[in-house]
Amino acid sequence: MQLLWPIDYGLWTIKSAMNAKANIKYVNLEITDADILYEDNHLIAVNKRAGDIVQVDETGDESLEDKVKKYIAKKYNKPNGAFLGVVHRLDRPVSGVILFAKTSKALERINAMFKGREMHKTYYAVVRNRPTPYAGNLVHWLVKNPQKNVTKAYNQEINGGLRSELSYKTVAELGGYYLVEVDPVTGRPHQIRVQLSTLGCPIVGDNKYGYPRGSLRKSICLHARRLEFMHPIKKEPVVIIAPVPKDGFWERFEGLMVSG
């Protein structure tokens, strides 16, 4: 089966597909009911689009945080705005489930749960190189360069390095691409991206960490698929699963995902 890469799915407009230096413009899309994966009085989970930023940065683009606030304020008729707490982040080119707190009580408890590693996250990545070994556990010490926004991995403990751990397993091969399930133990900036690259398997589209070319839509094939935890208020298990982007590429892998 032949898979085509890259393909645009709406966040990035290509003004000249025939031009190697195509002018890429970010398209801001508001949050709708279709983007909501889970919501109650305390929490709201959104299926983040690749290209959205979680919080405001130097680009000045509208953040996902602000868009979700607008969604809540409009849905529940709150003219003075809505409270929303950011409890974790996804890199801008990554898609998938992201959770926000709607109350200060939920925010405090969810923050403690993330710190205590009580939130189980599962990602899927698509890579071009065959992972060797097919499954395993990776431990590195990561150092981030904030000026260049790049993280470097070291095999041994280093001054200023943060111990970073994940487990992975290759679940399928399709058209020369490999689908890898990743369960991070820690949550460091760019962790999955740099650790898979260190394995010799840069994520498709992630030219920052070794893939030969980036995608025209500024996304990478890394998707936060599943988030599982005990509800901080209701004390009942919650499992949230994010459908993959509808881009003509990811859908071919969705049926092969063993987690959700």
What number of residues does the chain have? 260
CA-angle at 180, arms to 120 and 150, nearest 5°: 80
Q: Which residues contact 131 (CB under 8 A, 6 or more apart)?
A: 168, 170, 178, 180, 196, 199, 200, 201
End-to-end CA distance of the chain: 24
- Specify the DSSP element, H or E, that contains 227: strand 222-230
Q: Which residue, among 259, 230, 237, 238, has the nearest Cα to 114 in the 3D structure? A: 230
Indicate which residue of 35, 40, 52, 91 is catalytic.
91
Alpha carbons 76 and 98: distance in angstroms, whole number: 21
Alpha carbons 103 and 135: distance in angstroms, whole number: 39
User: Do the Cβ atoms of 25 and 13 come closer than 8 Å?
Assistant: yes
Residue ranges of the alpha helices (H) in 90-205? Answer: 104-115, 191-198
Distance of CA 243 to the CA centre of its chain: 12
Tokens of 156: 């041994």
Residue 52 annotated among the catalytic residues of the structure: no
| Residues designated catalytic | 91
